[in-house]
Structure 1
Amino acid sequence: MDTRTLGELLDTLGEPALRLLTAPSGLTTPVTEVLLYDAHAPFPDRAPGALLLAVGVRADAAGGLVDTAAAARMAGLVVRGGDGPSSGQGPSSEQGSSSEQGLASEHGLADGHGLADAVARARERGLALLTVDEDAAWHHVHLLLAGAVGARPSLAGGAALGDLFSLAGAVATAVGGATVIEDPRQRILAHSAIPGQPVDEPRRQGILGRQVPGSPENTEQYRVLFASQGPVRLPALSPEELPRLAIAVRAGGETLGSLWVVDDGTLAPDAEEALSQGASTAALLLLRARAAQELSRHMTGDLLRRLLDGTAEPATAAERLGLAPGTPVRVAAFALEGAAGAPDGEQAALRLLDLVRLQCEARYGRHACVLVDGVVYALLPGTYGRAGERQRRLAEDIVRRAGQALRVPVRAGLGDVVPEVAEVRGSREDADLVLRVLGPEETVAAMEEVRARAVLLRLSELLGERRELAAGAWRDIVAYDAGHGTDYARTLVCWLDAGCDMARAARLLAVHPNTCRYRLRQARTQLGIDLDDPDERLVLWLQLRTLAGLRGAGA
């Protein structure tokens, strides 16, 4: 069986959306459900395996809640706070107070003493302690975490979920036994609640955890079920369990899930026929939910595509994307390095789209991502300062995870923040430009970090397109070097790069300063260039740098 663990949640969502401070019981701790903390509501006496989202509680003030959650035997506590790099799997339980103070500083929290106390209490009580980013909305975090552990089915919306519960009730009435609907990973999507129908303890635990408890015997029953074309009667696996009547839910040969009915010996005579009809209806509902989800993603992606190429009406697009008027935005571009021409390049690009979408949804909720010409674009809410730095770390995290998953290097470029959706096209052009100017050892950069390189690249394209801009003395210098074996062009570039400092230019060229002076004097004499004119020096430097592709610094 595929029970969710704390480690799997971190692998699924990961930084920067979710950071681990400590996990004294290890990353294999099972997580059965996700709960929202409400300071004004009664706290559950027991909630084994629950992950509590501490709405309104910061990490540096979580000590008291740690005690309460541990007493309820919860698996972990998630609080707001933390803006620094993660500590991986968290500090070990043997670390002392000095390490905890360092952790507080590492996570950039206001009160290191408060965080140290919370971490120490969590370790002492065996409770995992995690943080979410300052930008993360609690309902988005809940949606993603609950979906990951199976506490909420990943359906398109409440209507589809309600339909499945209604179907479970209808099947239970027709068949005569308590019914659940599961997905292929044995997560319980819906269950019946007909009064008087017996429910044994394994079923009760499955409903509470939204996940069927795993065992080798259970695995064998699922193997038998999915190998059968119709209803299957399965024996009880323990004295405290009742037999089951089950059927796989399929559509077009694809297994979408299964229906399970508790058989206490009083099922209806036509139970198998009624269950078969229920499976057909369940297949339609699951397909409809999947289609609705995919349609929503397709429409959002198509809208972003039109925004990127400038053909969408900005006000309407902003409204459909849930952006308030005047909301600043920026575009992030992700590309696979060298995979465009590979046989499986298109499939890898689609997988990259899924990875980018998952990470962006974990941070921002419903999100616009689209694949265009092998590049995945994501529309991010445009922010400045530390929030902008968090977006860069998000891009770094996506690049790292995607590279590991796809086994192909991934690069990312962040465009400039633009003041409104109407200017998204410009931010997309920035992001594309950043991808083009990234160096061999660079994987992620924002436009402000590589602006000089981007400007020079654009200038080289502009100068090369216009005859009058591409003409000039630079051609004569390059031609003279080619014909006479001289090195005047590179000497000029090094001298200009060095701010006309002869000693620095000589160091760049690895020659004596007198050699540098001689070359410049000869260039003046042989080619008639006026190095005393600042305008001529500027144009000559631009043309040699952009059109001739010469560099002095680092050459």
Structure 2
Amino acid sequence: MDACTLQELLDTLGEPMLRVLTAPAGLTARVSEVLLHDARDPFPRSAPGALLLMVGARAGDVGPLAHDAAAAGMAGLVVRDGDGQPDTVAAAKAHGLALLAVDEDAAWHHVHLLLASAIGSRPGPASSGAAVGDLFALANAVAAAVGGATVIEDARQRILAYSTVPGQVVDEARRQGILGRQVPSSPENTEQYRVLFAAPGPVRLAALDDELPRLAVAIRAGGETLGSVWVVGDGHIGPDAEDALTRGASTAALLLLRARASEELSRHLTSDLMRRLLDGTADPAGAAHRLGLAAGTPVRVAAFALDGTVSASDGEQTALRLLDLVRLQCEARYGRQACVLVDGSVYALLPAAGAGGSTRAEQRASGRGGERHERFAEDIVRRAGQALRVPVRAGLGDVVPDLAAVRGSRDDADLVLRVLGPDEDVAAVTEVRARVTLLRLRELIGEQRGLTAGAWREVLAHDAEHGTDYARTLVCWLDAGCDVARAAKLLAVHPNTCRYRLRHAQQHLRIDLDDPDERLVLWLQLRTLGGLRGADRA
């Protein structure tokens, strides 16, 4: 697992993004990960070295949260500027936790992504004045060489890293971009990017409104544009700035290509691990460590599939796009992803902390977790339908206690996809349990010759030969709890007609409808093997 010290985190991000309010264990304390926590969620039981983002926490929540965080082995808490009141600082000190503050304008999910990126980054050695380690170190090296605050962006204008060299000016537009990790969209910005990406080398761009001028260069590799490097021109840019910026862009290209290769390898390894989890051949303990899950974390499998009308030629590419979309949403929601495409379905492993508990509070938390998973799946289905222009459906398996039982949850999710009705997009197995059970019974009964024999065959044969409607009448009557009036309503006939059919079915086919065992077996066989359902005819 990646880790760094608090000091390294501060050196990487700097102010105003991050500052220390207290650090009882010193700045050499190790930080392993960053966790988003909503006060309504179950608290992690074990998260050694984690930083906890206190989303939505109130003043009265801090003491209990600090106690729980210390018990879980966490390194510290993160609050917004202004929330670090004396009581909050005192609570953190009392439990030996660091207390950090982030800019009050920063969105929590951006803070989470930025901290997670910084924790996983590593500075590398210097060469010719430019760092060749992580992107933050490179941004600082370029800023020192060129003489202006520097940011590194990807091809979608997302800010990947920024410099923290003391004394360098950052205007408000750049500050807001750093906080949001995205360059604001505007016609003027669009025109500047057009000019930049059309140029063969660095370009100097005039100031926009109250911004400072910029010096920028595209990051390219083999003709592909990977991103750009931007320097705020505050009048201190050195005479050899363009050469230094070009060298920085070259180094950035290597880093981005290396990151891409590393990401592809990581995804390949994660996909292979997911396949083995789904078929029950992976080592649960090793898989939990690889996926960053605490031992004994409850999980569930969500399965996403394209509508069956998609042609085979288009289906493969569309399924790969669906996989990318599910991965992106899982990374945004959980800070990690464990997704794989198998036989046309995309499977995602969703953590369900707090599910399956024995206390009432834990059970309520489990219910809320299930609702959140379903809303999450519904959101993915909606986004996928819009992006892919193809209907997508999702099935959620049961919550299982740990990774050793993932195969069962995957089987549940597959069955849900098979029993979804034409007007259903998303369902959890708990919502369609009866349909799933009948489907499994049909498969099990169909495999046993002795279980497929019985009066149900004679009923269907009689209807086919004589044009009667005994089978449907029997199913409606049994579905209605042997209530003739309700059965007649399902059949849209007079109750006397229903009684007549039932009486003649007993006489001609020698069915004893007074025997509860015979009624049960006949109903199961007609429903499962015959595929009849009275309510469908209502």
Equivalent position of 1:465 in the other structure: 447
Structure 2 SS opposite 1:220: helix
Aligned position for 1:518: 500
CA distance in 1, matches of 2:468, 2:183: 78
Matches of 1:387 and 1:241 in 2, distance apart? 45
419 and 317 in structure 1: CA distance in 2 versus 1, 3 angstrom threshold: same
How far did residue 249 of structure 1 move?
A: 0.8
Quote the offset at 1:443 in angstroms. 1.6
Which AA in structure 1 matches 2:348?
Answer: A
Contact 1:248–1:258 (CA under 8 A) maintained in structure 2: yes
User: 1:264 offset after TM fit, Å?
Assistant: 4.8
Q: Is the 8 A contact 2:395 2:416 kept in 1?
A: yes
How far apart in 2 are the matches of 1:204 and 1:35? 13
Structure 1 residue 168 corresponds to structure 2 residue 139: yes
Cα 1:34–1:441 change in 2 (3 A) is farther
| 2:232 pairs with 1:247 | no
Q: Deviations over 1:351-406 (max 9, x none)?
A: 32233233333333223122222212121223222322222222222222322333
User: What SS class does the counterpart of residue 549 from structure 1 fall into?
Assistant: coil
User: Which amino acid is the alignment partner of residue 456 of structure 1?
Assistant: L
Q: How does 1:449-464 map to 2 (within 5 A)?
A: 449-464=431-446
Distance 1:280 1:153, change over 3 A: farther
Name the Cα RMSD after superposition. 3.9
- How far does residue 532 in structure 1 lie from its aligned partner after superposition? 3.0
Cα distance in 2 between the residues matched to 1:469 and 1:550: 17
Where does structure 2 lack aligned partners over 5 or more consecutive residues?
1-14, 24-34, 41-53, 59-100, 125-132, 356-365
What is the alpha-carbon distance in structure 2 between the residues aligned to residue 154 and residue 314 of structure 1? 27
TM-score, length basis structure 1: 0.67
Alpha carbons 1:416, 1:446 under 8 Å: kept:
yes
Q: Is the CA contact 2:300–2:397 (under 8 Å) kept in the aligned structure 1?
A: yes
Q: Could you give the per-residue CA deviations for residues 286-340 of structure 1, whole angstroms, max 9, x where no partner exists?
A: 1112332333233223211210111212222122223333332211112222354
SS at match of 1:276: helix
- AA aligned to 1:490 is R
Contact 1:34 1:146 in 2 (8 A): no
2:424 and 2:440 map into 1 onto residues whose CA distance is 20
One-letter amino acid of the counterpart of residue 135, structure 2 = L
How far did 1:173 drift?
A: 5.2
- Give the Cα–Cα distance (whole angstroms) in 2 for the partners of residues 423 and 347 of structure 1: 31
Where does residue 466 of structure 2 map in the other structure? 484
Contact 1:301 1:368 in 2 (8 A): yes
1:441 — aligned with what? 423
Of residues 392, 395, 415, the one that matches 2:374 is: 392
Residue 301 (structure 1) aligned to one of 241, 265, 271: 271
Sort the Cα spacing of 1:410 and 1:316 in 2 relative to 1 into closer, same or farther, 3 A.
Answer: same
Structure 2 Cα separation of the partners of residues 171 and 361 of structure 1: 30
> Is 1:156–1:289's contact at 8 Å kept on the other side of the alignment?
no
Find the aligned partners of 1:241 and 1:516 in 2 and give their Cα distance: 82
Whether the aligned pair in 1 keeps the contact of 2:39 and 2:55 (CA below 8 Å) is no
Q: 1:174 Cα shift?
A: 5.1
The match for 1:159 is 122
1:112 aligned partner: none
Query: Where do 5+ consecutive residues of structure 1 fail to align?
Result: 1-32, 42-52, 59-76, 82-137
CA separation in 2, counterparts of 1:238 and 1:251?
A: 29
- In structure 2, the partner of 1:79 is 56
Do structure 1's residue 431 and structure 2's residue 413 form an aligned pair? yes
Q: Indicate the residue corresponding to 2:110 in structure 1.
A: 145
State the 1:227 CA deviation: 1.0
For the residues of structure 2 that align with 1:527 and 1:306, how far apart are their CA atoms?
51
Distance 2:426 2:194 in 1: 45
1:159 aligned partner, one-letter code: R
Shift in alpha-carbon separation, 1:502–1:54, aligned structure 2, 3 A: closer
> Which of these residues, 488, 491, 500, is aligned with residue 509 of structure 1?
491
CA distance in 2, matches of 1:180, 1:278: 11
Does residue 348 of the first structure (1) align with residue 313 of the second (2)?
Answer: no
Give the distance between the partners of 2:144 and 2:535, measured in 1 at CA.
Answer: 80
Alignment pair present for 1:256 and 2:233:
no
Q: In structure 1, which of residues 289, 293, 300 is the aligned counterpart of residue 259 of structure 2? A: 289
Corresponding position of 1:475: 457
> In 1, are the aligned partners of 2:381 and 2:393 still within 8 Å (CA)?
yes
The change in CA–CA distance for 1:507 and 1:169 in structure 2 (over 3 A counts) is closer
Instruction: Kindly provide the amino acid, as one letter, of the partner of residue 361 in structure 1.
Output: E
Give deviations 1:174-201, integer Å, cap 9, x for gaps. 55666543333444444456678x7575
2:77 aligns to what?
none
**Cα shift readout 1:139-193 (whole Å, capped 9, x = no counterpart):** 9x97742478xx6796893127962233334445555666543333444444456
SS of equivalent residue, structure 1 residue 159: coil
Residues in 1 aligned to 2:16 and 2:408: alpha-carbon distance in whole angstroms: 40
Q: Write the distance in 1 (CA, Å) between the matches of 2:37 and 2:446.
A: 57
Deviations 1:264-300 (A, max 9, x none): 587445x544443332211001111233233323322
- Of stretches 436-445 and 406-415 in structure 1, the one that deviates more from structure 2 is 406-415
Q: Distance in 2 between matches of 1:457 and 1:411?
A: 18
> SS of the counterpart of 2:139?
helix
For the 8 Å contact 1:339–1:345, the answer to whether it is kept is no
Change in Cα spacing, 1:207 to 1:385, as seen in structure 2 (3 Å) is closer
| Contact 2:420-2:427 within 8 A present in 1 as well | yes
1:257-276 aligned at under 5 Å gives the runs 257-261=227-231, 262=233, 264=235, 267-268=238-239, 272-276=242-246
- Return the letter of the residue paired with 2:121: G
C-alpha distance in structure 1 between counterparts of 2:485 and 2:192, whole Å: 82
Higher RCO (CA 8 Å, separation ≥ 6 residues): 1
Q: Distance in 2 between matches of 1:439 and 1:243?
A: 59
Deviation at 1:451?
1.0
> Cα–Cα, structure 1 residues 492 and 239, in superposed 2: closer, same or farther, change >3 Å?
closer
* Aligned CA distance change for structure 1 residues 40 and 540 (closer, same or farther; 3 Å): same
Structure 1 residues 458 and 235, CA gap change in structure 2 (3 angstroms): closer
Pick the aligned partner of 2:328 from 352, 358, 367.
Answer: 358
What SS does the aligned partner of 2:122 have? helix
TM alignment of 1:204-243, pairs within 5 A? 205=175, 209=179, 218-232=189-203, 234=204, 236-237=206-207
The equivalences for 1:2-81 within 5 A come to 79=56
Do the aligned partners of 1:318 and 1:421 also contact (CA within 8 Å) in 2? yes
